[in-house]
Amino acid sequence: MQKLLSRSLLLVGALAGMSACQKPEEAKPAAGPAAPAAAPAAPADDKGPIKVGILHSLSGTMAISETSLKDVALMTIEEINEKGGVLGRKLEPVVVDPASNWPLFAEKARDLIQNQKVAVTFGCWTSVSRKSVLPVYEELNGLLFYPVQYEGEESSWNVFYTGAAPNQQAIPAVEYLMSKKGGNAKRWVLLGTDYVYPRTTNKILRYFLHSKGVADDDIMEKYTPFGHSDYQTIVADVKKFATGKRTAVVSTINGDSNVPFYKELGNQGIKATDIPVVAFSVGEEELRGVDTKPLVGQLAAWNYFMSIDNPENKAFIDKWMAYVKKNNLPGGDKRVTNDPMEATYIGIHMWAQAVEQAHSTNVDAVRQAVGYQHFKAPSGFDITMDAENHHLHKPVFIGEVKADGQFHVVWKTEGPIKAQAWSPYIPDSAKKKADWLFPWACGNCTAPKFGPAGVVAAAQ
């Protein structure tokens, strides 16, 4: 019964994902290396400040995560303005609060583009909020920078994804746990909150585990509702499942449920050395509200950790702490930096560089210029935006939680790796390609849209 329901939910999720991505192909021009179109922006605006939209929930359930992204976005804009702005014009942030209400995200996005006339928007956290604004950005040809790790299976002409795709977070984490160093895990518990991101990620992971020879008997997949706080039964089940074979837990539990989950692990005496738990939604910011003692040794996979030691990161943290102090933000000197904050920081800088290069804030011109932008990120790597699939090339780090709530990096990739917008492990997705360059010009195709001679091929 449960299996049936989860299958059908997956199907619905997949259909929703596809329909969201099908739209742009019809109306979009060939996005080849051709010169950008002339900017239709009103010339009268050319001297005034450039408006930049910030679309993060400042109230409601997601305020806990998104407020810091709003703060770091304002800090980055201030930093750019102090250096003289972009094209000699100041950036003017327009902050709106969609209040963790998914339809309101779409309304606020429309308001930002149509009424506020923002040149670009930085925003969204949950996948459901992104799916809700996507049609708006595609209809009005807006530009969105999305800073959070997500489930992939999407590529939009109007969105640049500065967070990780599954192959830049989930897959390397599972590979690490399979290795000798990570504990030789043979059995897998896929544990998540019940919505699109965990379901899709776990679907990819299940296919991936199959490809590594893990049988279905050795995979346990469980979901809990948002805000679930009673993990007694689930942790007892995990414990039982873990007898015999070395087991690892892959947690896509999101938001508030993490604290009761980890507390329950500690209470039932499960240590990271027995059953390691790798989480994709737990970072420095989430650990700030947690008693970290029982968590020591548990793992997280990200593209950035605050504990990474390099000059760029030191400068980034110093800037952030100074900004927190100056604006007297709640939390004071206990504030931390985390991966989505770094992704926001990278995104804003890349957009600003692209505007300088395009000499315009016109969306079509800027979009052409964002691809191939690179930026020396706080993670210590020179990060490049992929012009093909609109995702960043990112390094992957795996860290173990330390008693002070920071992470000790135990594994990392040698360099940035390219995102796979469509997972090669899901048979249906493996055929698809996200490539916004000529002749593909498509986020979701199995064949190029344009023939070599510029003749429009029969689309799909």
Partner 1 sequence: MSKDVRVGTKMMSVGSRVAGTQWSVLALGVLAVTALPRAALAGPLEDAVEGLAGPSDDKIEDSVRALATLGDPRALPALDALCDDRLRVGADGHTYVWNSKGRQLLRPIDGTVVTPEPRPLKEVEVTNDIRRAAMPVLAQLQLASPVASVRLGAAEELSKSGSGEASTLLHHALDREHDSSVRDALGLAVARVDLAGSNSAARVAALELIGKSGNDGFLSEITRLASRNADGSFVEPDAAVRGAAERARNAVVSHQRLVSFVGNLLHGLSLASVLLFVALGLAVTFGLLGVINMAHGEMLMLGAYATYTVQTMMHGGRLYLIVAIPVAFLATALVGIVLERGVIRHLYGRPLETLLATWGISLGIIQTVRLVFGAQNVSVANPDWLAGGLEVTQGLVLPWTRIGVVGFVIVVAAGVWAILQRSRFGLQVRAVTQNRAMAAAIGIPTRRVDAWVFGLGSGIAGLGGVALSQLGNVGPELGQSYIIDSFMVVVLGGVGRLAGAVAAALGLGVVNKLIEPATGAVLGKIAVLGFIILFIQRRPQGLFALKGRVEA
- CA 182 to chain CA centroid, nearest Å: 24
Closer residue to partner 1, CB minimum distance, 285 or 364: 285
Q: Of these, 121, 156, 224, 362, which contacts partner 1 (CB under 8 A)? A: 224
Closer residue to partner 1, CB minimum distance, 140 or 317: 317
Q: Count residues contacting partner 1 (CB under 8 A)?
A: 76
For residue 404, state whether it binds partner 1 (rule: CB under 8 A): yes
Provide the minimum distance between the beta carbon of 410 and partner 1 in the complex, in angstroms, as a whole number. 5
Closer residue to partner 1, CB minimum distance, 214 or 385: 214
For residue 29, state whether it binds partner 1 (rule: CB under 8 A): no
**Binding to partner 1 (CB under 8 A): which residues in 417-456?**
none
* Dihedrals phi, psi of 459, to nearest 5 degrees: -65, 115
Distances in whole angstroms, Cα of residue 162 to Cα of each of 96, 197, 317, 345, 431: 21, 16, 19, 9, 24
Q: Of these, 273, 427, 453, 455, which contacts partner 1 (CB under 8 A)? A: 273
For residue 74, state whether it binds partner 1 (rule: CB under 8 A): no
For residue 289, state whether it binds partner 1 (rule: CB under 8 A): yes
For residue 237, state whether it binds partner 1 (rule: CB under 8 A): yes
Q: What are the structure tokens assigned to 163, written together?
A: 């967070």
For residue 58, state whether it binds partner 1 (rule: CB under 8 A): yes
Interior angle at CA 419, CA 415 and CA 421, nearest 5: 175
Do 189 and 241 contact (CB within 8 A), yes or no? yes
Q: What are the structure tokens assigned to 192, written together?
A: 């998540």
Provide the minimum distance between the beta carbon of 224 and partner 1 in the complex, in angstroms, as a whole number. 4
For residue 243, state whether it binds partner 1 (rule: CB under 8 A): yes
Do 53 and 165 contact (CB within 8 A), yes or no? no
Do 105 and 371 contact (CB within 8 A), yes or no? no
Do 257 and 265 contact (CB within 8 A), yes or no? no
For residue 308, state whether it binds partner 1 (rule: CB under 8 A): yes
Q: Of these, 116, 274, 357, 393, which contacts partner 1 (CB under 8 A)? A: 274
For residue 263, state whether it binds partner 1 (rule: CB under 8 A): yes
Q: Please report, as a single letter, which amino acid is at residue 1.
A: M
Binding piece for partner 1, criterion CB under 8 A, among 88-96, 105-113, 152-160, 262-270? 262-270
- Count of residues in the chain: 460
For residue 97, state whether it binds partner 1 (rule: CB under 8 A): no
DSSP conformational letter for 89: B
For every residue of 335-374, DSSP letters joined together read: ----HHHHHHHHHHHHHHHHHHHHTS--HHHHHHHHTT-E
Do 163 and 343 contact (CB within 8 A), yes or no? yes
Closer residue to partner 1, CB minimum distance, 101 or 360: 101
**Binding to partner 1 (CB under 8 A): which residues in 141-200?**
180-183, 194
Q: What are the structure tokens assigned to 374, written together?
A: 């690179």
Provide the minimum distance between the beta carbon of 131 and partner 1 in the complex, in angstroms, as a whole number. 20
For residue 236, state whether it binds partner 1 (rule: CB under 8 A): yes
Question: What is the C-alpha separation between 126 and 100, in angstroms, rounded?
Answer: 9
Closer residue to partner 1, CB minimum distance, 224 or 362: 224
Closer residue to partner 1, CB minimum distance, 114 or 268: 268
Closer residue to partner 1, CB minimum distance, 154 or 286: 286
| Residue where the block lists tokens 């790790």 | 149
DSSP conformational letter for 391: B
**Binding to partner 1 (CB under 8 A): which residues in 333-392?**
380
Provide the minimum distance between the beta carbon of 187 and partner 1 in the complex, in angstroms, as a whole number. 10
Question: Beta-strand (E) ranges in 168-316?
Answer: 187-193, 219-224, 247-252, 277-279, 299-302
Provide the minimum distance between the beta carbon of 68 and partner 1 in the complex, in angstroms, as a whole number. 8
